[in-house]
């Protein structure tokens, strides 16, 4: 049996909840890769440890393994959980290299908190397969682990604060907050996103191809209001459960609607949370990412470099994107922002480093009434 097969996780869009998650086995436990304990699907709102923890999905494509390893090292903290999705398109050697890396890091093995999606998707840029991958990861992480917030990153992202800083800065926030940058002013997206109909062959074909455009266009929805925004979000556990379990039918209805929508990751969570009476008041209108755009904006954000360092730090944001592999600015970030890392094996005692203070300033500003309540779902 190939290693890939052993790491299989059953996946289908319609049975998100019935997937099993396997820990990446070490070389010696390869044949007995154990299923990790499945937690009851219930909210951990009442779990009252003062320190929160985070569940990360890190998505990577073909050729990203180098970036992925570096990102994982810089993000690692024993309290958190990490799920890696390496596109099915990446060659088998890359999947194996990543699996070996995860299995070879003693720290990851002790905590068992770094996992790989064993049966990954073909992810189509701008297609619903991106969203399917995110929802799959949320379902797996809800099922396996206790955490407070779900964070979605790509291999081109990088942190600007240590995980201790992040944990400390978030520790005084209500655990039900969702960081989702959004607006209902669709602008050019009304015609370029709201009306076109697309099909993503990645949902049913093993061959990678671009999305298909249907010639006919559709009208804008009238039974719910469309919102759009940044594809980078930090979602609370209660909202994640709502998305996955869908005890109200809205998450499912919108998922079906967004299947034929261009760039659904920029709209699904935004539209869902703003149309939900239960969750709209938990929305913080910010994505906590430093992302630089050309003026006028092009399709992809600018690649960040040393010239952006000061602005990045001044933004007080915990994450930035996007970076080239081993860009010199990453060394500077490591040295000047992430240096006060915990020593291996030491107690995860979060210390308010300079990063925590910067991030707290941003969070405090976002929680002011004029930035929080006044900017919700408008």
Ligand X SMILES: *[C@@H]1O[C@H](CO)[C@@H](O)[C@H](O)[C@H]1NC(C)=O
Alpha-carbon gap, residue 177 to 150, rounded angstroms: 11
Contact call for residues 52 and 171 (beta carbons, < 8 A): yes
Give the one residue of 152, 163, 178, 228 binding ligand X; rule: CB under 6 A: 152
Within residues 246-275, the interface with ligand X by CB under 6 A covers 265
Compare residues 202 and 265 and give the one whose CB is closer to ligand X.
265
Residue 231 in the binding site for ligand X (CB under 6 A): yes
Residue 42 exposure: Cα atoms within 13 Å on the Cβ side: 5
What is the pattern of x (binds ligand X, CB under 6 A) and - over residues 86-125? ----------------------------------------
Alpha-carbon gap, residue 135 to 239, rounded angstroms: 12
Closest distance of CB 202 from ligand X, Å: 13
Compare residues 278 and 294 and give the one whose CB is closer to ligand X.
278
What is the pattern of x (binds ligand X, CB under 6 A) and - over residues 210-229? --------------------
Closest distance of CB 124 from ligand X, Å: 11
Alpha-carbon gap, residue 62 to 64, rounded angstroms: 6
> Which window, 32-40, 126-134, 181-189, 213-221, contacts ligand X (CB under 6 A)?
126-134
Report the chain's terminal Cα–Cα distance, integer Å.
53
Alpha-carbon gap, residue 258 to 360, rounded angstroms: 35
Give the one residue of 121, 124, 129, 154 binding ligand X; rule: CB under 6 A: 154
Compare residues 6 and 199 and give the one whose CB is closer to ligand X.
199
Closest distance of CB 84 from ligand X, Å: 11
Closest distance of CB 281 from ligand X, Å: 4
Residue 278 in the binding site for ligand X (CB under 6 A): yes
Give the one residue of 14, 32, 48, 219 binding ligand X; rule: CB under 6 A: 48
Give the one residue of 43, 184, 281, 325 binding ligand X; rule: CB under 6 A: 281
Residues whose CB falls within 8 Å of the CB of residue 331, separated by 6 or more in sequence, listed in order = none
Give the one residue of 14, 28, 207, 346 binding ligand X; rule: CB under 6 A: 207
What is the pattern of x (binds ligand X, CB under 6 A) and - over residues 128-147? --xx--x-------------
Closest distance of CB 363 from ligand X, Å: 19
Residue 115 pairs in a beta bridge with: 83
> Which window, 66-74, 101-109, 253-261, 276-284, contacts ligand X (CB under 6 A)?
276-284
**How many residues sit close enough to ligand X to count as binding (CB under 6 A)?**
14
Contact call for residues 54 and 46 (beta carbons, < 8 A): no
Compare residues 93 and 277 and give the one whose CB is closer to ligand X.
277
Closest distance of CB 109 from ligand X, Å: 26
Closest distance of CB 322 from ligand X, Å: 9
Residues whose CB falls within 8 Å of the CB of residue 165, separated by 6 or more in sequence, listed in order = 318, 350, 352, 353, 355, 356, 359
Residue 265 exposure: Cα atoms within 13 Å on the Cβ side: 20
Q: Phi, psi (5° rounding) for residue 60?
A: -140, 155
Closest distance of CB 87 from ligand X, Å: 10
> Which window, 113-121, 213-221, 277-285, 333-341, contacts ligand X (CB under 6 A)?
277-285
What the block records as the tokens of 89 is 């398109």
Residue 24 in the binding site for ligand X (CB under 6 A): no
Closest distance of CB 347 from ligand X, Å: 19
Residues that bind ligand X (CB under 6 A): 46, 48, 59, 130-131, 134, 152, 154, 207, 231, 265, 277-278, 281
């Amino acid at each position: 049996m190939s290693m890939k097969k052993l790491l299989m996780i059953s996946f289908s869009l319609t049975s998100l909840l019935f997937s099993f998650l396997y820990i990446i086995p070490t070389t010696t436990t390869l044949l007995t890769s154990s299923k990790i304990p499945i937690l009851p699907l219930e909210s951990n709102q009442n779990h009252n440890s003062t320190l929160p923890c985070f569940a990360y999905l890190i998505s990577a494509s073909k050729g990203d393994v180098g970036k992925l390893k570096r990102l994982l090292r810089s993000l690692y903290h024993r309290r958190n959980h990490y799920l890696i999705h390496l596109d099915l398109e990446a060659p088998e050697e890359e999947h194996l290299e990543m699996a070996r890396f995860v299995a070879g890091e003693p720290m990851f093995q002790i905590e068992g908190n770094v996992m790989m999606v064993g049966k990954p998707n073909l992810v189509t840029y701008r297609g619903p397969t991106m969203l399917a991958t995110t929802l799959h990861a949320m379902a797996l992480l809800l099922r396996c682990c206790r955490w407070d917030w779900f964070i979605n990153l790509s291999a081109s992202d990088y942190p600007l604060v240590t995980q201790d800083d992040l944990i400390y800065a978030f520790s005084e926030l209500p655990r039900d907050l969702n960081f989702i940058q959004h607006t209902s002013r669709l602008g050019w997206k009304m015609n370029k996103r709201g009306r076109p109909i697309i099909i993503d062959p990645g949902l049913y074909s093993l061959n990678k191809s671009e999305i298909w455009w249907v010639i006919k266009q559709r009208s804008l929805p009238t039974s719910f209001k469309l919102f759009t925004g940044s594809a980078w979000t930090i979602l609370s556990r209660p909202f994640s459960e709502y998305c996955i379990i869908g005890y109200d039918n809205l998450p499912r209805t919108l998922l079906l609607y967004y299947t034929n929508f261009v760039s659904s990751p920029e709209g699904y969570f935004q539209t869902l949370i703003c149309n939900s009476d239960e969750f709209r008041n938990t929305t913080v209108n910010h994505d906590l990412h430093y992302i630089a755009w050309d003026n006028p904006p092009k399709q992809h954000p600018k690649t960040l470099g040393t010239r952006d360092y000061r602005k990045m730090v001044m933004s007080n944001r915990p994450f930035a994107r996007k970076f080239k592999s081993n860009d010199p600015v990453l060394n500077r970030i490591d040295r000047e922002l992430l240096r006060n890392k915990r020593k291996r094996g030491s107690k995860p005692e979060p210390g308010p480093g300079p990063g925590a203070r910067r991030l707290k300033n941003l969070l405090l500003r976002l929680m002011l009434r004029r930035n929080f309540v006044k900017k919700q779902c408008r």
